Amino acid sequence: MAEILRKIVEQKRVELARAQSACPIETLREVVEPTVRDFRAALAGGREEKLPRLIAEIKRQSPSKKAICTDLDVGEIVKIYSERAAAISILTDYEFFGGSLEDLEEANFVTTIPLLRKDFVIDEYQIYEARQFGADAVLLIARILEEEKLAELLLAAEKLGMAALVEIHDEADLVKVLKTPAEIIGVNSRNLDTLAIDLANFEQLLPQIPREKIIVAESGITTRAELENLSGRVDAVLIGTALLQAEKIERKLLELTEPHEDEN
């Protein structure tokens, strides 16, 4: 496991212990209700359309980019995203990404489209926690989970009506994921050791993913041309930094999603 991932997972264990002490999972099980928003359906079929569907992301900072948009207004940006995105990803890690579960909760108040909790999930507790704050799906990172734990977390999400975006970065991740019931597979082009973007890695992995899976391209997509290159090849793309650092988010969103005349 890359050093940065190791540090993040260690921090998650600390946060998890603190949260469980304050509110046991038994309490969450009593109060948390299944979602009615279908994240899977929001992405399914994107490969048959002119452009892949968009998962628009909110994140304030990252280990690779540091500050991205630290003073963002979650509610306002979610409203803008909701006009064009199929789903919205909310980064809830605080220590490394500056996010919070309160960001997720705020997003839930102002949108009706499915929400993904993007974090470093290592325990069932975090799935119940995600649902409590309004998530309809969770990110599961294959690199930090053993096969048995990954399958366990997929089942936990399913019990709450939630989907799981299962992220891979290399062939070992893919082999592991294909042994589980994962339906939505995200290919992260970011090298988890160097944090650099490596789109060639995506091109190598894509043909190896069974076509019946819902496929999501993650990281490194910034332009309309790159999006068009993925047309017919993936169902959705996850884009955050390119939107949040745009001079006008609305204009960038239109650039990425508005069909051109020759596409109609």
Show which residues are catalytic. 57, 59, 118, 167, 188, 218-219
Q: So what's the pLDDT on residue 263?
A: 53
Q: So what's the pLDDT on residue 171?
A: 94
Q: So what's the pLDDT on residue 141?
A: 96
Q: So what's the pLDDT on residue 262?
A: 56
Q: CA-to-CA distance for 9 and 17, rounded, in angstroms? A: 12
- Per-residue pLDDT tens listing for the chain (264 residues): 678 889 999 999 999 999 999 999 999 999 999 999 999 999 999 999 999 999 999 998 887 666 677 678 999 999 999 999 999 999 999 999 999 999 999 999 999 999 999 999 999 999 999 999 999 999 999 999 999 999 999 999 999 999 999 999 999 999 999 999 999 999 998 876 677 788 888 899 999 999 999 999 998 889 999 999 999 999 999 998 899 888 899 999 999 998 765 554
Sign of CA dihedral 4, 95, 63, 57: positive
Class at the top of the CATH hierarchy for domain 3-257: alpha beta
- What does pTM read for this prediction? 0.95
